[in-house]
């Protein structure tokens, strides 16, 4: 039995690391979009493709895409879509490893909110993890008032919403199927993309538009290829991660998601020469360490 559990953990690790390695690569492609579109057009287009894929396979495998309770799914989808809109927006201006570190502050927010709102008792180890994570965030942001901009805080804000995604999944949507939650997430992301695209098309920003403020443009071949690759990898990645959580304990499987930081940092360097300075690198390591401590202590009694 112990041997079987070890094999399941190894399999889950392979599945999740593979998924995160793929996502870490394709997320770097966002910087190649350039003049081909905006973050809003990207999300609207990618979500449309993904929803079509999900509907297609749901017909083949006779899967129901009707939620049991639409409001909880909508709330969860709002948090998830908000997180991804903010995360992808930050990729155009900061290194992906730094953006990923902000996104992975989610376990810290989950712990803090669970402690305050759900009265979760936390012990010394997880209090220490929050402190370590906070130091890590400061090192990544390097809070020099002359260097700070609102872009510096975007990844951490995305981490907050990503944490809320996890909490609402656990407390509001535990009885919903994976395909329903996946479809709801991408429908919300597509709506956000469509609304942003519509706004900036009707009310264009004077001067030079950016990845964040550009309205509808005729997409380039480069843009279409990136959207298509992103859509396919997103579907495959979600499937691999979901399967990983099905074969092994979630508290251990979650640790493997930090492979994203390694993959994103590696490909960011290989493709764009992005290299975090020593202070930011230490910050990323501290944030990842804090998340791993919280995850591993989740099913244990703190001492």
pLDDT value of position 37? 82
pLDDT value of position 102? 86
What stretches in the chain show pLDDT beneath 70? Answer: 1-6, 34-35, 141-152, 207-208, 249-251, 298-303
The single residue listed with the structure tokens 């690790």 is 13
pLDDT digit string, tens, across residues 40-70: 999 999 999 999 999 999 999 999 999 999 9
In a domain, 28, yes or no: yes
In a domain, 45, yes or no: yes
**Are 263 and 84 in contact, with CB atoms under 8 Å apart?**
no
In a domain, 93, yes or no: yes
In a domain, 160, yes or no: yes
In a domain, 194, yes or no: yes
Select from 194, 165, 198, 204 the least CA-distant residue to 72.
165
Radius of gyration for the alpha carbons in the chain, expressed in angstroms and rounded: 19
pLDDT value of position 135? 87
The sign of the torsion formed by the CA atoms of 14, 20, 24, 29 equals positive
Task: Quote the tokens at residue 147.
Answer: 């260097």
Q: Kindly report the three-state secondary structure assignment for every residue of 176-234.
A: CCHHHHHHHHHHHHHHHHHHHHHHHHHCCCCCCCCCCCCCCCCCCHHHHHHHHHHHHHH
In a domain, 302, yes or no: no
pLDDT value of position 146? 56
How far from the centroid of its chain's Cα atoms is residue 159's Cα? 8
Structurally, the chain folds into a number of domains equal to: 1
Which residues constitute the domain of residue 208?
A: 2-297
- Residue 101 to residue 280: CA distance in whole angstroms: 10
In a domain, 227, yes or no: yes
In a domain, 303, yes or no: no
- Residue 254 to residue 252: CA distance in whole angstroms: 5
- Neighbour-count burial of 147, counting CB atoms closer than 10 A to its CB (0-12 exposed, 13-18 middle, 19+ buried): exposed
SS3 content of the chain, % helix, strand, coil (to 5): 75, 0, 25
Between the two ends of the chain, the Cα-to-Cα distance in Å is: 28
pLDDT value of position 118? 74
């Amino acid at each position: 039995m112990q041997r079987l559990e070890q094999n399941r953990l190894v399999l889950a690790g392979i599945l999740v690391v593979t998924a995160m390695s793929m996502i870490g690569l394709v997320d770097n492609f966002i910087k190649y979009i350039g003049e081909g579109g905006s973050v809003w057009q990207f999300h609207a287009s990618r979500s449309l493709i993904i929803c079509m894929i999900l509907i297609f396979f749901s017909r083949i495998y006779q899967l129901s895409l009707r939620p049991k309770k639409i409001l909880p799914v909508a709330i969860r989808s709002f948090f998830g879509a908000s997180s991804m809109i903010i995360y992808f927006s930050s990729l155009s201006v900061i290194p992906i490893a730094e953006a990923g570190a902000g996104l992975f502050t989610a376990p810290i927010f989950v712990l803090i909110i669970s402690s305050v709102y759900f009265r979760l008792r936390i012990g010394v180890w997880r209090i220490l993890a929050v402190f370590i994570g906070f130091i890590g965030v400061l090192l990544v942001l390097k809070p020099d008032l002359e260097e700070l901009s609102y872009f510096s805080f975007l990844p951490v804000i995305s981490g907050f919403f990503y944490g809320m995604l996890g909490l609402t999944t656990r407390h509001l949507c535990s009885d919903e199927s994976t395909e329903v939650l996946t479809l709801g997430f991408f429908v919300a992301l597509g709506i956000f993309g469509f609304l942003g695209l519509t706004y900036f098309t009707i009310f264009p920003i004077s001067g030079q538009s950016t990845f964040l403020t550009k309205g509808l443009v005729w997409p380039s071949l480069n843009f279409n290829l990136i959207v298509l690759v992103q859509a396919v990898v997103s579907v495959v990645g979600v499937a691999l991660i979901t399967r990983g959580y099905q074969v092994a304990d979630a508290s251990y499987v979650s640790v493997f998601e930090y492979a994203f930081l390694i993959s994103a940092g590696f490909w960011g360097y290989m493709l764009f020469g992005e290299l975090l300075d020593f202070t930011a690198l230490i910050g990323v390591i501290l944030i990842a360490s804090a998340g791993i401590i919280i995850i591993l202590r989740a099913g244990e009694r703190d001492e």
